[in-house]
Amino acid sequence: MEAVLGANGKKAAVMRVRGTTKLLCVIGCPVEHTLSPYIHQILIDHAGDDFAYVPFRVEKENVHEAIQGALALGIEGINVTIPHKQAVMAETVSLDFSAKLVGAVNTLKRTPEGYVGYNTDVDGFGKLVDIGQVPVKGNPVLILGAGGAARSAVAVSFLKGASEIRIWNRTRKRAEDLKAEFEATLRALGENVPAIRVLSDEALLEEDHAIVFNTTSAGMYPKIETLPVEAEAFYRTVRFGLDMVFNPAETGFMRKIRENGGFALGGRSMLFYQGMRSYEIWTGREFFKAQADQMHEAFLKASEEVLS
């Protein structure tokens, strides 16, 4: 990926645009912080495809018009970020299994009939589990948070065979709602419902949790010292911790786990792999592991330069 200094002094991805160039984009509100253009420029350069990728800020009340306009303009693929991942579901002609399972869409692929919805956050977080060699199968998993990001963590825990999915959120009702929604979704899809339990504040601290997924924004820049759970004792039993926060590269949550002898991994790799899966869906390509590893490393390096 080539890069130049933008107007704000930050490095910017360089696009090559000609009359035949097709457009990919990301919509969200806000969207100015997105790293997706850096991911996709790496993918475009590696594949040699004639695409350009740009961010569009879309207000909540304009989602329908934005998707209809994108369809009319022939935009081939759209990434969807906060707060539109559920709203765009109504704009699709069909949904794949991952989108139905999570109840949210982060990727739209243009077809002659309209946009088909996918959720590649499941692929990205699943890849993070694989990279960390986290032994989810047959073991209980604790998920911190009950927002949109938690949906992907619950789905991955289910798909990878966790013996029990534990959910804790500062507002208990949100955790209970997430549990009920996911159980109802599984029944509607004809899937077996696993053991899912909402934890009280007392159970959170009294029980041992060897595998923990942080899906809250605690520790996100600029409040990098914020922890999803403040109690020091909580981190003593954590052997594997995955954090969806991608900025900074090491969060306080990750540092606490490492200080107590556990393994921790941050969300920047998840961000790359969900983007790569979106690109594969749009183009029909399938990147080999060696290619993916090379591009992944290039993104990690680029993201350090952009976020530093």
Are 281 and 287 in contact by the 8 Å Cβ rule? The answer is no
Asked whether the predicted pLDDT for residue 13 surpasses 50, the reply is yes
Q: 106 is written with which tokens?
A: 């982060």
Longest dimension (CA), the chain: 62
Helix axes 172-188, 148-159, angle to 10 degrees: 50
By the 8 A CB rule, do 24 and 40 touch? yes
Q: What is the tens place of the pLDDT at every residue in 281-305?
A: 999 999 999 999 999 999 999 998 8
* 127 catalytic residue (yes or no): no
Among residues 81, 105, 72, 69, the alpha carbon closest in space to that of 33 is found at 81
Check if the beta carbon of residue 23 is closer than 8 Å to that of residue 76.
yes
- Give the model's pLDDT for residue 7: 44
According to the model, what pLDDT value does residue 4 have?
44
The CA distances from residue 161 to 29, 136, 213, in Å, are 34, 7, 15
Express each pLDDT in 26-41 by its tens digit.
999 999 989 999 999 9
Query: Over 90: is that where the pLDDT of 126 sits?
Result: yes
The pTM of the full predicted model, rounded to 2 decimals, is 0.92
Residue 6's pLDDT band, with cuts at 50, 70 and 90, is: very low
275/90 Cα distance (integer angstroms) = 22
* pLDDT, tens digit (0-9, with 9 covering 90-100), for 155-174: 999 999 999 999 999 999 99
Selecting among 10, 11, 22, 85, the annotated active-site residue is 85
32 against 93, higher pLDDT: 93
Q: Are 213 and 122 in contact (CB under 8 A)?
A: no
Q: Is 68 helix (H, G, I), strand (E, B) or coil?
A: helix
**Residue 8 banded pLDDT, cuts 50, 70, 90:** low
- Joined together, the tokens standing for residue 1 give 């990926």
Counting residues of the chain whose pLDDT is more than 70, the rounded percentage is: 95
Q: Please give the mean pLDDT across all residues of the chain.
A: 94
Mean pLDDT, to the nearest integer, of 41-70? 96
The pLDDT confidence band at residue 5, using thresholds 50, 70 and 90, is very low
* Burial (CB count <10 Å: 0-12, 13-18, 19+), residue 87: middle
